[in-house]
Amino acid sequence: MQRAKRKLEHIQYALELGDGPAATHLADLRFLHNCLPEINPADFVLSVEILGKRLRLPFFIDAITGSTDAVTEINRKLAQVAARTGIGMAVGSQFGAVRDGSGIASYTVVREELAEGLVIGNISALATPAQAQAAIDMLQADALEVHLNAAQELWMAEGDKDTCGLLANLVQIRDAVSVPVIVKETGCGIAAEQYELLLEQGFTAFDCAGAGGTNFPAIEAKRQGVELTEEFAAWGVPTCWSLLDAQQTLPQNALLLASGGIRTAGDAARAFALGADAVGITAPLLRLVIEQGVDAAADYVETLADGLQKYMLLLGCLTPKELRDVTLIVTGETRDFIASRGYELAKLCRWRRG
């Protein structure tokens, strides 16, 4: 009962609090117009292959809901949006479902609606390998996100604040399960130091989930009636910076999913320019399916895709991946971040991973 109440409050406060207050810092990046794009829109290819599944559009709905029967219809509608638009979907944490059987229908409904599509399971880094496999089996999942959420747990009254042994447990989960494991943050981003540590342990798939979008520490503080300090309220690695670190750290064959406050076609274009293989959109779609329904949410996805194509035409790119080769102008705090990291700005005007 307590877990179900918490999951409903997560949705309530995610919609009430909105994004931030941290900025994604994607706005610090400016594109240079290509006055000779030599592009025929008929030749655009937005589809991408991710984790063995072909997506019509290079987007996915990232993890947020589940673990209580009360959100079954929300997940059904989100899955219908994914099926209608040809994008993937990751579910919220299945930890409660595999521990005590709570809210299983809120997850299985996703595979019912997205029968042939990309479905990604989700489990805590605290889970056992057996629980992780149970989460996969529940969904017939194509991959499993294992989430890291130290900041959220810190402000959760019932949270687990002992983070010892997480990396070793991640390795055990990865080695035991039947599908690829994606290491995912939950809104505080992954920095280069942790990308490197995870790479050393053999991980090859990441969801940066940077700061600037849904703020789970703020949600947990709101649940407890606690006021966060300004610094803690904006805690985390902004999405832009997490992608920048990934671009400087990950090899070409790594899978990089971009999420965390990506709301517009411009945000998505910048994420692809920073090396993303696909872009996660969550809060806007959650709000739309709750307030306006599946049609409105699907229209949002199609509008996002149309906007992305406009950026691609103006930059002379036929695919999202080609955006990695466009020139970027770096401004604001991101320019300072690059300097503090010791990256060479001249080389970073064109971002190439690995």
Closest CA to 140 of 178, 172, 83: 178
Six-digit token string for 203 = 């991980």
- pLDDT at residue 348 in the model: 65
Judge contact between 23 and 235, C-beta under 8 A.
no
Query: Facing residues of 238 across strands?
Result: 211
- From the centroid of its chain, how far is CA 24? 13
- Vertex 120 angle, CA 117 and 122, to 5°: 160
Judge contact between 58 and 309, C-beta under 8 A.
no
Closest CA to 250 of 192, 209, 210, 208: 192
In angstroms, rounded to a whole number, what is the distance separating the alpha carbons of residues 287 and 163? Answer: 32
In angstroms, rounded to a whole number, what is the distance separating the alpha carbons of residues 210 and 243? Answer: 8
- pLDDT at residue 350 in the model: 58
**Per-residue three-class SS string for the chain:** CHHHHHHHHHHHHHHHHCECCCCCCHHHEEECCCCCCCCCHHHCCCCEEECCEEECCCEEECCCCCCCHHHHHHHHHHHHHHHHHCCEEECCCCHHHHHHCCCCHHHHHHHHHCCCCCEEEEEECCCCHHHHHHHHHHHCCCEEEEEECHHHHHHCCCCCCCCCCHHHHHHHHHHHCCCCEEEEECCCCCCHHHHHHHHHCCCCEEECCCECCECHHHHHHHHHCCCCCHHHHCCCCEHHHHHHHHHHHCCCCCEEEECCCCCCHHHHHHHHHCCCCEEECCHHHHHHHHHCCHHHHHHHHHHHHHHHHHHHHHHCCCCHHHHHHCCEEECHHHHHHHHHHCCCHHHHCCCCCC
Please give the average pLDDT of every successive group of 10 residues along the chain, which has 354 residues. 65 80 96 96 97 97 79 95 98 92 92 97 96 98 96 80 92 98 97 98 98 88 86 95 96 96 97 97 94 98 98 98 94 96 75 53
Six-digit token string for 352 = 């190439």
Closest CA to 92 of 133, 121, 129, 53: 121
Closest CA to 205 of 230, 176, 232, 170: 170
- pLDDT at residue 223 in the model: 85
Six-digit token string for 335 = 């320019």
- pLDDT at residue 125 in the model: 95
Considering the entire predicted model, what is its pTM? Answer: 0.95
- pLDDT at residue 3 in the model: 60
Closest CA to 258 of 25, 82, 31: 25
